[in-house]
Structure 1
Amino acid sequence: MVKRLKFKSGGDMGVEALELEKDVEQEIHEKLDIKSMFLLGVQHVAAMCAGAIAVPMILGESLGLGVEQINTLVSATLMMAGVGTFIQTLNVHGKIGAKLPMVEGVSFAGVSALVAVGLSYRGTDSVLGLQIMFGATIVSGIFAFLVAPLFGKLLKYFPPLVSGVVVTSMGLSLIPVALRWIAGSPQTSNYLSLKNIFLALITIGIILTVQKISKGFLGNIAILIGIFLGTLVAIPMGLTDFSIINEASHFTINTPLQFGLPKFELTAVLSLFLVQLVIMTDATGNQINLSDICSVKPDEEKIVAGLRGHGLTSAIAGVFNSFPHSLFGQNVGIAAITGVKSRFVGTAAGVILLTVSFFPKIVAILTAIPSPVLGGAGIIMFGIVAANGVKRLGTVNYEKNKNLVIVATSLGMALAPISTPQLFTNFPQWGKILFQSPVTLGALTVLILNIVFNEFGKK
C-alpha cells in the first residue's frame, strides 16, 4: 500500500515526488494474497458478465444460429476476454498492454455493423456470415494495432460531436434487440404474451430498486442481480428451459476456426475499420480515466500500448471465433469503488473468465436465461449506451456553428435502418452490409459533415 510521505522543510521536492511515484508503481505491481485477488476478480467479472454474453447472443440471433452454436460463441467470447485481459495486465511485450487493472470484453461498438452482415446471410448461409464476421474482425484488429501510434493525429476527427452521435446510434440500434427478446421467439406459444412483458417489467423493477437502495459495488452489478432474480421469478411462471444444461458437455476447449476459414468481404472490413476508430476513441477515454484512478500519468507511450493490446486481442479473437474487444468501462467504475490499483486483480479476472469458458454447463446456464429477462435488462443496459452518447453530445458547443444540423442529420440517417430495416433490400450485397448498420451509416454521416462544416476552411 502507499506509504505516507512526510515532507520535511527544505527537502528536495523532486526526490519526494520521485518517491511518491515509486510508491504508486509499487501499488500497480503489487501482488495481493490469492483470496483477495480472487474476490476482487469476481467483482470485475460480475460487473461485465451481462454485457460480455449479450454481444455473441445478439450476433448469433441475427444469423439464426441454434442454441449450441450460440453457446460456442459465448464460450469463445469469455475465453478471449480472459486472453485480452492477460495481454493488458501482464504486458508480456513492453509495447503491448497498458499494465493497468483493465478487463477486456467484446465491444458493443461492433454489434450493429456485424448484425448487418448477419442479416444479409440469415437463412441462406449463416456459417458464411460468421466467417465474414471473423475475417473482418481479424483485419480490423490488425488495423487497430498498426494505427495505434498514429491515432493521436486522427483523434481530432473524433471530437464529442462525432463520438456522441456514434455511441447514441449504437445504443438506439440495440434497443430493438431488447424488445425482440421481450417478445420472445415467434415459434413459441409465449410469443408476445403478457407473461413475457410482465417478466421483463419485473426485471426492470428489480434493477431500478437495486440502483435506488444500493451504493458502491452493488450498484455496479445491479443488472446482474436483476437477471439472476428475474430468472428465479421466471421458474414458477413456466418461462425457463434448462434442458440445454443437461445436454452440454462437462469440458471443452475453444479451438481456432471452429466455423471454417475466415472470409474477407471488403465492405464488412471497412465497416469494422470505422468501428475500431470508435473503439479506440472510447478506449482512450476509459484508459485515461483508469490511469487517473490509479494515480498513473497517462502518457502517449502507455496509451499506445493499451490500444495495441485492444488491436491484438481483436485480431486473435477473429481466429478464436469471437469479435472486436475493448476495455470495459464498467470495470473502470469497479477500480474507482475498490481503490485497488494492482494490475494483477485484472489478471485474476482474466483467469476466472478463461476458466469459465472451459465449462459448457456454466456457459449453458448463462445462455438459458429467459429472453424476457434479458430483454428487460437489455432495455436498461442498451439505454445506458445511448444515454452515454447523449451525455457526450451535451458537452458539444451549438452556438454560432452548424453542429445541431450535423447531429440532426446524422441521427436521422442512423435511425433509417432501425425504423425500416427493409429500406435497403434492393441494394447490392455490399450496400446492405454498409447501410443496414445504423452505427456505420451514422458514423459516416457525422464524420463527413464534421469535416465539411468544421474542418474545411481551417488554417
Structure 2
Amino acid sequence: MEGINTKLERVMSEPVRTLLIYALQHIAAMCAGAIAVPIILGGALSLPQEEIQFLVNATLMVSGVGTMIQTLGIGKKFGSRLLMIEGVSFAGVAALTSVASAYNGVDPRLGISIMFGATMISGVFTMIFAPVVGKMLKFFPNLVSGTVVTCMGLSLLPVAIRWIGGGNTASPSFGSFDNLILAGFTLIVILLTQKLSKGFIGNIAILIGLLLGTLVATVFGMADFSAVSTAKIINLNVPFYFGIPKFEISAVLSLILVQMVIMTDATGNQINLMDISNQELSKERLTAGLRGHGLSSFIGGIFNSFPQSLFGQNVGVVALTGKSNRYVGFTAGLLLLTVSIFPKLTALLTSIPYPVLGGAGIIMFGMVAANGIKRLGTVEYNGNRNLVIVATSLGMALIPISVPQIFNNFSPWANILFKSPITLGALTVVILNIIFNELGKNKKMEVSNG
C-alpha cells in the first residue's frame, strides 16, 4: 500500500492525506448547494422521502463523475483539467419545477422522466455548442471577464446571507441572534486561522471553520443529525431508476435555454480559475471544459440527476487557499462518488447548519467577486469609456439580485434569461465592449498609422 501511495504522490504532487483534506474542504463548501435542487424538485413532485434521498445520492454520484471528467479529462476534447467541481445547477430549478407542477398528483414518475429526458438533450446541445462559445474567447478581455467574474461573486453573496439567517426565509427563527452569532463565529475562526497560520493549516481555514462551527452548533443544540440514524446504509444508483426518459419539446427547449445561461456562468468560472491557476487562457481548454460539462449533464439524465454546473463557491476556495492542483478536484470527485453509495455519509454532510455555511460563504463568494475586481484593476480607464461599461454592466447585474420580481411579467423563457445576474451582466458588458471598443477599431488604427 505504501508503494502505491508513493506513486500517487509523485503523480499528484501532493501527499495523499493532504489531497484528502483539501478535497473534503471543497466537498463541505459545495454540499448544501448540491443537495438543495433534488430536495426541491423531489418535493415539487410529492415523491416519498425515500425517493428524494435517492435523488440526493444520485446527484452526488453524478457530481463526482462530472468532477473527475473535468479534472482528469477524456482525451483532449472533454474536461478542462482544472480544479473544477461539478454539481447540479440552481439555474434549472424554475424550468423543472414547472414540469413538476404539471404532473404532480397526476403521474409524478412521468414528470421526472420528462425532466431526465430534457436534461440529456440539453447536455448533448452543450457538447455541440461548446466550440461556438470557445471561439468567443476573444470577446472576453480583462474588461469583460473581470466584470463577469465580479457579477458571479455578487450573485452568490445573497445565497450566503440567506444561509447566515438560517436558510429558510419563511422560518420564524430566520435571522435569530443564535444564527447570526454562529455564522459570525465561523467567519471569525476562518479569518483568525488565515491570520495566525501559514502553509497547510492556513490553506484549510474553510474546513476548520466549518468543523468548529458545526461543533459549537452541536453543543448548543443547533445541529440536527437525526437524518443520519434514519438513512440507509448502502444505496446504489442505477440508470433510469424512475423509468425510460421521455422527451417533451417544451421541457427540452426550456433546459436548452437554461444551459445557455449555465454556459455563461461556466465560462466565467473557467476564465477565473485559469487566471488564479496561472494557466494560459485558451479557447481549446474552454471548449473542452464546456464539453465536459455537457457530458456531465447527459450522464446526469441517465443516472437520475439534473443539469450540471461548475460551482462558484469552489472557485472561491481555490482563490482563498491558492491550491489549484487539479488532483485535489479529482480526489473530491472520488470522495463524492464514494459518499453517494453510503446515504449515512450524505446525511452527515448535509447536517452542517446553514449559519455555519453562511459564515464560510461570505468569504468564499466574496473571493469570487474580489478576483473579478482584481482583474478589473488591470484595465485602462483613461481616454475611453471602460468605466461606463463596467458601471452599466454591474448595475444591470444587480437588478435581479436586488428586485427579482421586476421580471415577473416577462414570458417564462425571458424570465430564465433575465433573472440570471450573470447572464444579464455578461450580455451587457460584451455588447457594450463591442460597441465602444471594437466597432471602428480598424478605422482608428488606420488614422493613427496615417
Taking the TM superposition and a 5 Å limit, the aligned residue runs for 1:367-378 are 367-378=350-361
- Give the one of 344, 349, 353 matched to 2:336: 353
Amino acid at match of 1:41: L
Cα shift at 1:97:
4.5
Q: SS at 1:235's partner residue?
A: helix
- Give the one of 50, 53, 60 matched to 1:78: 60
For residues 455 and 96 of structure 1, do their structure 2 counterparts lie closer, same or farther at Cα, with a shift above 3 Å needed?
same
- Give the one of 23, 46, 49 matched to 1:45: 23
1:171 and 2:153 matched:
yes
For residues 403 and 300 of structure 1, do their structure 2 counterparts lie closer, same or farther at Cα, with a shift above 3 Å needed?
closer
For residues 159 and 30 of structure 1, do their structure 2 counterparts lie closer, same or farther at Cα, with a shift above 3 Å needed?
farther
Cα shift at 1:208:
1.0
Amino acid at match of 1:170: M
Of the structure 1 ranges 274-283 and 255-264, higher mean CA displacement relative to structure 2 is found in 255-264
Q: SS at 2:410's partner residue?
A: coil
Cα shift at 1:306:
5.1
Contact 2:79 2:288 in 1 (8 A): yes
Taking the TM superposition and a 5 Å limit, the aligned residue runs for 1:25-424 are 31-32=8-9, 38-57=16-35, 59=37, 65=43, 72=54, 74-88=56-70, 91=73, 93=75, 95-97=77-79, 102-106=82-86, 111=90, 113-114=91-92, 117=95, 138-139=120-121, 141-149=123-131, 153-184=135-166, 185=168, 188-256=171-239, 261=245, 264-280=251-267, 282-283=269-270, 286=273, 305=288, 308-320=291-303, 321-326=305-310, 329=315, 347-424=330-407
Contact 2:228 2:347 in 1 (8 A): yes
Cα shift at 1:85:
4.2
For residues 116 and 443 of structure 1, do their structure 2 counterparts lie closer, same or farther at Cα, with a shift above 3 Å needed?
farther
Amino acid at match of 2:85: G
Contact 1:182 1:376 in 2 (8 A): yes
Contact 1:57 1:74 in 2 (8 A): yes
Consecutive unaligned residues of structure 1, counting only runs of 5 or more, are: 1-28
Cα shift at 1:259:
6.7
Could you list the per-position Cα deviations for residues 108-138 of structure 1 after superposition, in whole angstroms to 9, with x for gaps in the alignment? Answer: 9x54x44554787898879899888866764
Contact 1:96 1:309 in 2 (8 A): yes
Contact 2:228 2:348 in 1 (8 A): yes
Contact 1:206 1:226 in 2 (8 A): yes
Name the CA distance, whole Å, in 1 between partners of 2:202 and 2:276. 19
Cα shift at 1:348:
4.6
Contact 1:314 1:323 in 2 (8 A): yes
Could you list the per-position Cα deviations for residues 184-240 of structure 1 after superposition, in whole angstroms to 9, with x for gaps in the alignment? Answer: 235645233211111111111111111111222333322222111111111232211
Report the equivalent of 2:3: none
Q: Count the aligned residue pairs.
A: 420
Name the CA distance, whole Å, in 1 between partners of 2:297 and 2:165. 32
Contact 1:63 1:129 in 2 (8 A): no
Contact 1:183 1:372 in 2 (8 A): yes
Could you list the per-position Cα deviations for residues 304-355 of structure 1 after superposition, in whole angstroms to 9, with x for gaps in the alignment? Answer: 55554344234323443144344954786799769xx8x8776554432211
Amino acid at match of 2:135: K
Contact 1:166 1:442 in 2 (8 A): yes
Name the CA distance, whole Å, in 1 between partners of 2:363 and 2:390. 23
Amino acid at match of 1:160: N
Contact 1:174 1:382 in 2 (8 A): yes
Of the structure 1 ranges 51-60 and 195-204, higher mean CA displacement relative to structure 2 is found in 51-60
Q: SS at 2:441's partner residue?
A: coil
Name the CA distance, whole Å, in 1 between partners of 2:165 and 2:155. 17
Contact 2:59 2:306 in 1 (8 A): yes
Identity of paired residues, percent? Answer: 48
Consecutive unaligned residues of structure 2, counting only runs of 5 or more, are: 1-5, 443-450
Report the equivalent of 1:21: none
Amino acid at match of 2:263: Q
Name the CA distance, whole Å, in 1 between partners of 2:269 and 2:161. 26
Cα shift at 1:415:
0.9
Q: SS at 2:219's partner residue?
A: coil
Amino acid at match of 2:335: I
Name the CA distance, whole Å, in 2 between partners of 1:165 and 1:259. 42
Name the CA distance, whole Å, in 1 between partners of 2:67 and 2:191. 30
Cα shift at 1:361:
0.8
Of the structure 1 ranges 191-200 and 143-152, higher mean CA displacement relative to structure 2 is found in 143-152
Could you list the per-position Cα deviations for residues 233-269 of structure 1 after superposition, in whole angstroms to 9, with x for gaps in the alignment? Answer: 1123221111111111111123445677476353542
Contact 2:152 2:369 in 1 (8 A): yes
For residues 281 and 193 of structure 1, do their structure 2 counterparts lie closer, same or farther at Cα, with a shift above 3 Å needed?
closer
For residues 455 and 302 of structure 1, do their structure 2 counterparts lie closer, same or farther at Cα, with a shift above 3 Å needed?
closer
Contact 1:284 1:307 in 2 (8 A): no
Amino acid at match of 2:60: L
Q: SS at 2:378's partner residue?
A: coil
Amino acid at match of 1:236: V
For residues 436 and 34 of structure 1, do their structure 2 counterparts lie closer, same or farther at Cα, with a shift above 3 Å needed?
closer
- Give the one of 400, 408, 414 matched to 1:425: 408
